[in-house]
Amino acid sequence: MRKTSFVLALLLAGQLTVLGQQTETVGKSPWGSDDEIGSLNLMSNYTRFEVLSQIKSGKTYDLSVDYFVGMPSFHSLGDPGYQYWLTHTPNGTAVDNPNGLGKAMNRKVSYTGDAISMYTHMGTHIDALNHFGLNGKIWNGFTPEKHLGDKGWKKTGAETIPPIIARGVMIDVKSSKGIFPENYRITVNDLQDALKKQRLKLQPGDFVVMRTGQAEFYEDANHYLDNYPGISLDAVKWLIEEQGTMLLGADNLSFEAFPPEREDNWVPVHTYLLAEKGVMFIEQMYLEELAKDEVYEFAFIAASLKLKGASGSPLRPLAIPIKSE
Amino acid sequence: MRKTSFVLALLLAGQLTVLGQQTETVGKSPWGSDDEIGSLNLMSNYTRFEVLSQIKSGKTYDLSVDYFVGMPSFHSLGDPGYQYWLTHTPNGTAVDNPNGLGKAMNRKVSYTGDAISMYTHMGTHIDALNHFGLNGKIWNGFTPEKHLGDKGWKKTGAETIPPIIARGVMIDVKSSKGIFPENYRITVNDLQDALKKQRLKLQPGDFVVMRTGQAEFYEDANHYLDNYPGISLDAVKWLIEEQGTMLLGADNLSFEAFPPEREDNWVPVHTYLLAEKGVMFIEQMYLEELAKDEVYEFAFIAASLKLKGASGSPLRPLAIPIKSE
Amino acid sequence: MRKTSFVLALLLAGQLTVLGQQTETVGKSPWGSDDEIGSLNLMSNYTRFEVLSQIKSGKTYDLSVDYFVGMPSFHSLGDPGYQYWLTHTPNGTAVDNPNGLGKAMNRKVSYTGDAISMYTHMGTHIDALNHFGLNGKIWNGFTPEKHLGDKGWKKTGAETIPPIIARGVMIDVKSSKGIFPENYRITVNDLQDALKKQRLKLQPGDFVVMRTGQAEFYEDANHYLDNYPGISLDAVKWLIEEQGTMLLGADNLSFEAFPPEREDNWVPVHTYLLAEKGVMFIEQMYLEELAKDEVYEFAFIAASLKLKGASGSPLRPLAIPIKSE
Amino acid sequence: MRKTSFVLALLLAGQLTVLGQQTETVGKSPWGSDDEIGSLNLMSNYTRFEVLSQIKSGKTYDLSVDYFVGMPSFHSLGDPGYQYWLTHTPNGTAVDNPNGLGKAMNRKVSYTGDAISMYTHMGTHIDALNHFGLNGKIWNGFTPEKHLGDKGWKKTGAETIPPIIARGVMIDVKSSKGIFPENYRITVNDLQDALKKQRLKLQPGDFVVMRTGQAEFYEDANHYLDNYPGISLDAVKWLIEEQGTMLLGADNLSFEAFPPEREDNWVPVHTYLLAEKGVMFIEQMYLEELAKDEVYEFAFIAASLKLKGASGSPLRPLAIPIKSE
């Protein structure tokens, strides 16, 4: 019953169109001309409760990396890396006396404050639908001329992304396949093989996360950024169009691998998911603990910061094991 | 059984000492000289599962405010407000050609990227234990000389804060008490009255959040920052020392009110909780939806960003209604 | 001889058109369709040497304010204020060991490093011609569609502003007129009266700076920003169209006063100068020492930072007294 | 007469001590216990006028590089690179309406605003005396405990650096010596050979700038940062202790070369100049035009931004040819 209604919704959404389409154009949302969240419309109180009620333990897996100066960053196009700085320190406060209360007070009350700055696509984060569009439009036809101000998009900004509670499935391609060639593109077969070994089937509405093992190198930015594997366009189309996946994730920098598969598009997986299909995804996740414990099925709970107008947002997702159906 | 073991842990932790102590000094953790998370040690797989298994619906309450340029900020001591800026836009990418792929490609693939900067104590956020110390030390005796680098604290930084899953109780003092005088300090009686009306009892290990109603004004920073009510020192001591509360929260700027209750301490509630007791708290929460639906008891799920060394971190907490015991 | 050629150049530049024109439209540069610096084209080796050869002393006046956290800022539209932070400190370096050379080395070599961020129109700074345009174009017809990338303008950016060496004249309206009414607009008569008292005549090609006395309050941002006097549209037209002034300056926040003189333009002096006439100006100068010493005529030497693509740039101008002609 | 008095001042300053000293310790200023500018005390109205009166042309050489995203930076210790971003654009202002004046007004008045952030030691900049100290003290014995607040040093901050007007001499080691081996350290002989070819003698009080030719690669950060030549400790001691140079400069990243000459000090030239001798220097200058025109002697005019408390500051220095004595 439940799966049937999902599939219907997806069909309406045009998610299950014929594999191999070649024209690239922004999708029109089946959830209406005001829709800003695409496939996340598939969530409901019902779907959330279904997964929450299957939780079988209090063991919680933290799927986020740390934020630190020097962490990996998509910096090749000039984006700012992560910066952290102290705005107040115990000794500095005593020297500066910023509150005017004097040295004795500021020696007693030892104040530490700090600030950060960062590109929004750093660390474990979700891509909003406006991150990549096609031919001057984003998902559902919104345009920069009308909807892009100096403080970001008036439509599909990160503040519109709802908290996510869904069944999560990790496909541990790393464990299944071993070492990847440089810049390897993970295929449909790779996903199917891993799922078979894990004895798991995907369901419409799932959060599906692919493990490449790359997060093992997160502390060493050069290594992490170096020729990492990513998903192929076919594999991502299989997930969306045949499996009805609601949300995707991976543990590498950019989900897809470089160089791109299409000559006429430098990020074809990004534009396919965000602009054509209205499907978001989470990058730079930390999956090593899940893999070690062979936890492949879980309640996935994640809530990104509501950065108004933003093209992405950091979050710290959790996985809690559930009973298999 | 469960409550007894909590109380024992708290007694060991020195949390239930005699009310009214006057000396202010950093606490020594009962969880050992390496402890960096204080009362959050009270969480376990057992306590997390207990609350998760009581969830009775898929309705999810989002307890976070939005982040936007001009949002309220503790700026009186010079801390930077929230900034957002675009690093890539569809037209700008076509003009700049940052990837070297030329105008046709950059017109087709419409790229939006952005960056943020902010004081770490903005929007809905948790204070780490290093945020305020006493006499040159922080919780558990860590010192700036040994543990404070230019990229933050080596101890008790925000990256050490675990994901939080606990029973949450909102004390809706606003609904119970109506309009507050300027800079009002909420008393033990105020909390008790509200709880009585809500027919709820606190339990050791709870996340307790106090609603002042201030979040209603969040979009108007001047109003939000103006003479808001906060918790009194007595009330916070009652919560920690008599009720065994694990984690606190509120919907105002700084949890406590200004001017401070003690002449010799400009943030006595902060130093009491963070430095003396090892108890963290979440500020600037959004509680209006919970209040409207009269949801006072819930599974509280929150995971702050792991900002290495930081004195605080943003998060987007969720509340999901649970069955009353 | 020299004056004649200046006037000719200005006539060609359309600078001496009929006073009181009402249509507002971007100017077309008489220096060609590639011109990016407008009236600064009037400078030459000859004009520079003329003023340098008149220098009569080594006494140097520093015409810049300090940059500090909390300094005045045009923040009403959300622009970021000045921020300063330490990236390395002697103790922090010893704790962090960022160079991997160990505690002994980092205790010996006591490193201090720091960083800043700021809106480009803070402190003593020059406005580039792209700062304000009219009807979607800037000076000389350049457009955002073709020339505005995500890293600023490809045309008229601050990096194109040449070092400035010119005869400087301070018109001390403050000394001449005394106290100003709130938001007072300085008139042609005010300028003429002050010049008469100073027994000075303007010459084509001058840098003309107007003293309002506002810089006295620079350390107190609220006072500095409060209802300050500025120049009127008539006065600025008199300077450009009748006196042939090459570059302007003042000691207040925004040169012009608010509210604006035209209902259909919120910064009519800015658009008149930058977009219509191609004349830049320097704001937030410090003129108190010049005034105290009654130095009204000087060699003006200023070189703004070459911030690529920027709409403004900080500089620290100098004045050195010259022999009167 | 003039030279004699310089030498006397330098002797008093301890600048002419025996070559080859090995103990490294912060200097005590001969200009008193409050002195914050070291050798720049050698400037006076007399010295400034002397050089200004020798100016022989209006041709002005701009000795600064541009600031742009991706420019070279000393980033190996985590310092933030240069960032530039737009805060207002013509279209964005129309979409956002930040001033509340509506679309018609914001379409008419085409607003561009922008902001920057940067490590203070980027582009052409001067190092303040607090940038490097020895054993927990900086020049003249100031200490972090007393003088280093969270907003920088209370002593010797960049705001204390006076405008600089001095005789400038470029030593074109690049032209004299040709290609340098990797990480080459320029010797006393190299300087003397070049000066001989240039038929120039140094004078006490000079600004002396060394050309390595590295600025030719400034647009290509990787090349610029790669194994560049720098000055040797002997050469810098010769300049300060035997020639009485007041201020130094070069066109490479860090004046000195890496790896360092002393095993017990990773920046021995920096600490020698700043901490021991109270001599500042300017890095990352652009000298290619001077070299092309063979201008070796000039009036040097430079005024760094008065960044309060900062360890360095950007500036755009000028050179104007003077008559040889």
In this predicted model, what pLDDT tens digit does every residue of A243-297 receive, in sequence order?
999 999 999 999 999 999 999 999 999 999 999 999 999 999 999 999 999 999 9
Compute CA distances C3 → C81, C168, D229, whole Å. Answer: 42, 16, 49
DSSP D223-248: HHHSS--EE-HHHHHIIIIIT---EE
* Contact criterion met (CB < 8 Å) for A303 and B312: no
User: Region B6-27: what's the mean pLDDT?
Assistant: 57
3-state SS class at B319 = strand
CB of A301 less than 8 A from some CB of B: yes
Query: Average pLDDT, whole number, for chain D?
Result: 94
Note whether C273 and C281 are within 8 A (CB): yes
pLDDT bracket for residue C75 (50, 70, 90): confident
**Where does D31-82 have alpha helices with state H?**
45-52
Please report residues of C whose CB lies closer than 8 A to that of B70.
78
Please write the tens of the pLDDT for every residue from C80-97: 999 999 999 999 999 999
Mean pLDDT of B3-25: 52
> How confident is the model at residue D75, as a pLDDT?
83
* Residue pLDDT, tens place only, D29-72: 999 999 999 999 999 999 999 999 999 999 999 999 999 999 99
Å from D236 to nearest chain C CA? 19
Interface probe, candidates B82, B87, B88, B150, chain D, greatest D C-beta count within 10 A: B87
pLDDT at position B138 over 90: yes
- Residue to mutate among A2, A54, A110, with most B CBs inside 10 A, is A110
Structural domains of chain D, ranges and CATH numbers in brackets: 2-68+120-321 (3.50.30.50), 83-117 (no CATH)
Distance from the Cα of C322 to chain A's closest Cα (Å) equals 42
Interface-testing mutation among A109, A111, A285, with chain B (most B C-beta atoms within 10 A): A109
User: Is B151 in the D-facing interface, judged by CB distances under 8 Å?
Assistant: yes
Burial C36-72, CB ≥16 within 10 A → b, else e: bbbbbbbbeeebbbbbbbbbebbbbbbbbbbbbbbbb
- pLDDT band with cut points at 50, 70 and 90 for residue D325: low
B-C Cβ pairs (cutoff 8 Å, strict): 59
By residue count, chain C amounts to: 325
Mutate to test the interface with A, among B54, B64, B82, B116 (most CBs of A within 10 A): B116
The answer to whether the CB atoms of C86 and A87 lie below 8 A apart is no
In this predicted structure, the answer to whether residue A68 has a pLDDT above a threshold of 50 is: yes
Please report the pLDDT score of residue A325 as a whole number. 61
Q: How confident is the model at residue B199, as a pLDDT? A: 97
Helix (H) or strand (E) holding B318: strand B318-321
Share of chain C above pLDDT 90, in %: 91
Q: Are C84 and C116 in contact (CB under 8 A)?
A: yes
Task: Find the residue in D nearest to A86 (Cα).
Answer: D150
Whether pLDDT at A12 is above 60: no
* CA dist list (Å): A224 to A228, A313, B54, C237, C322: 7, 20, 41, 60, 62
CA distance B171 to B229: 14
Q: If DSSP codes are grouped into helix, strand and coil, which group holds residue B286? A: coil
Interface of D with C in 270-289 (CB under 8 A): 271, 275
Report whether pLDDT(C300) > 90: yes
Neighbors of chain C with 3 or more C-beta pairs under 8 Å: A, B, D
**Averaged pLDDT, D156-168:** 98
Q: Quick one: closest CA in D to A81, which residue?
A: D80
A100 neighbourhood in chain D, CB within 8 Å: none
The 10s digit of each residue's pLDDT in B201-218 is: 999 999 999 999 999 999
pTM (predicted TM-score): 0.94
Task: Tell me the pLDDT band of C23, cut-offs 50, 70 and 90.
Answer: confident
Q: Touching check for B112 and chain A: CB below 8 Å? A: yes
pLDDT of residue A74: 87
Q: Which residues in A lie closer than 8 A to residue B88 (C-beta atoms)?
A: 77, 79
pLDDT tens, position by position, B112-125:
999 999 999 999 99
The set of chains that have 3 or more CB pairs under 8 A with D is: A, B, C
Among partner residues D78, D87, D91, which is closest to B85 by beta-carbon distance? D87
Query: Token digits for A42?
Result: 């598939």
Ramachandran bin of B120, using left for φ above 0, alpha for ψ from -120 to 50, beta for the remaining angles: alpha
Pairing of strands D281-283, D230-231: unpaired
* Per-residue pLDDT, C13: 45
Predicted local confidence at residue A172, as pLDDT: 98
Q: What is the pLDDT of residue B4?
A: 45
**C107 — contact with chain D (CB < 8 Å)?**
yes
Sequence-distant (6+) residues with CB within 8 A of D110 are C132, C133, C134, C135, C136, C137, C138, C144, C275, D90, D93
Integer Cα distance of D64 and C302 in angstroms:
13
The answer to whether the beta carbons of residues C238 and C199 sit under 8 Å apart is: no
Q: Which two tokens stand for residue A33?
A: 């001309």
* Neighbouring subunits of A (3+ Cβ pairs under 8 A): B, C, D
E strand or H helix at C270: helix C268-270
Query: In terms of DSSP H, where are the helices of D112-155?
Result: 144-147
C-alpha A229/C-alpha A218 separation (Å) is 14
Tell the residue number behind the tokens 């090609």, with chain if given: C205
What was the pLDDT predicted at D324? 79
**Residues of B with Cβ-Cβ distance to D119 under 8 angstroms:** none
Q: Percent of chain D scored above 90 by pLDDT? A: 91
What is the reported pLDDT for A279? 98
The closest CB to that of D153, out of C50, C112, C135, belongs to C112
pLDDT above 90: percentage of residues in chain A: 91
Q: Looking at chain B, which residue has its C-alpha nearest residue C155? A: B95
Say if the Cβ atoms of D86 and B87 lie within 8 Å.
Answer: no
Task: Kindly state the helix (H) or strand (E) to which residue B225 belongs, with its residue range.
Answer: helix B221-225
A145 close to D (CB below 8 A): yes
Is the model's pLDDT at D197 over the cut of 90?
yes
Predicted confidence at residue A76, as pLDDT, reads: 84
In this structure, what are the phi and psi dihedrals at residue C25, rounded to the nearest 5 degrees?
-155, 150
Give D78's contacts in chain A (Cβ within 8 Å). 69-70
Residue A154 pLDDT > 50, yes or no?
Answer: yes
Taken as a whole, chain B contains a residue count of 325
pLDDT tens-digit map of A114-126: 999 999 999 999 9
Q: What is the average per-residue pLDDT within D152-180?
A: 98
Report the alpha-carbon distance of residue C36 to residue D258 in Å, rounded.
41
A135–chain B Cβ distance below 8 A for any pair: yes
For residue D151, list chain B residues with Cβ-Cβ distance below 8 A.
Answer: 78
The answer to whether residue C21 scores a pLDDT higher than 80 is no
Contact C137 D318 (CB under 8 A): no
Handedness of CA C265, C269, C271, C276 (dihedral sign): positive
Percent of chain A with pLDDT over 70: 93
Chain C residue with the nearest C-alpha to that of A117 = C117
Nearest CA in chain A to B46: A58
Selection from A111, C296, D153 nearest residue B133 by Cα: A111
**Omega of the bond leading into C162 within 30 degrees of 0 (cis):** no
Q: What is the pLDDT of residue D93?
A: 97
Q: Nearest CB to B115: which of A113, A118, A309?
A: A118
Of B78, B87, B151, the CB nearest to D85: B87
Question: What is the predicted pLDDT for the residue at D317?
Answer: 98
Q: C residues 21-40 near D, CB within 8 Å?
A: 24
Render the burial of A223-234: b for 16+ CB within 10 Å, e for the rest: ebbeebbbbbbb
pLDDT of C119 higher than 50: yes
pLDDT of residue C10: 44
Name which of B84-88, B260-264, D5-9, D318-322 the model is least confident about.
D5-9
> What's the rounded Cα separation, in Å, for the pair C214 and C284?
9
| Mean pLDDT for the stretch of residues B254-259 | 96
Chain B residues closer than 8 Å to A86 by CB: 148, 150, 152
CA-closest candidate to residue B146, choices B127, B158, B130, B132: B130
Report CA dihedral (D100, D102, D103, D108) to the nearest 10 degrees: -90
Q: How far is D124 from chain B (nearest CA, A)?
A: 25
Q: Is the dihedral of CA C102, C103, C104, C108 positive or negative?
A: positive
- Using the predicted structure, report yes or no on whether residue C4 has a pLDDT greater than 50: no
To the nearest whole Å, the CA of C219 is away from the closest chain A CA by: 15
Does residue B9 surpass a pLDDT of 60?
Answer: no
Structure tokens at A24: 């690239």
- pLDDT band per the 50, 70, 90 thresholds, residue D76: confident
Give the model confidence (pLDDT) of D245-266 as tens digits: 999 999 999 999 999 999 999 9
Residues 42-81 of D with CB under 8 A from C: 44-50, 52-53, 55, 57-60, 62, 64-69, 76-80
B102 reaches A (C-beta below 8 A): no
The chains in contact with chain B, meaning 3 or more Cβ pairs closer than 8 Å, are: A, C, D
Nearest to B69 by CA among C119, D60, A236: C119
Q: Is the dihedral of CA B256, B257, B258, B262 positive or negative?
A: negative
Nearest residue of C to residue D138, measured between CA atoms: C110
The answer to whether the beta carbons of residues D14 and D30 sit under 8 Å apart is yes
Average of per-residue pLDDT across C14-36 = 77
Q: Residue A140, SS3?
A: helix
The answer to whether residue B115 neighbours chain D at the CB level (below 8 Å) is: yes
For residue C82, CA distances in Å to B230, B315, C286, D22, D323 come to: 31, 27, 18, 42, 42
Helices (H) and strands (E) in chain A, counts: 11, 17
- Residue of chain D with shortest Cα separation from C303: D316
pLDDT at A4 over 90: no
HSE at residue B86, side-chain half, CA atoms within 13 A, is: 29
**Residue from A93, A325, A74 nearest A203 by CA:** A325
Q: Tell me: the pLDDT tens digits for C188-226?
A: 999 999 999 999 999 999 999 999 999 999 999 999 999
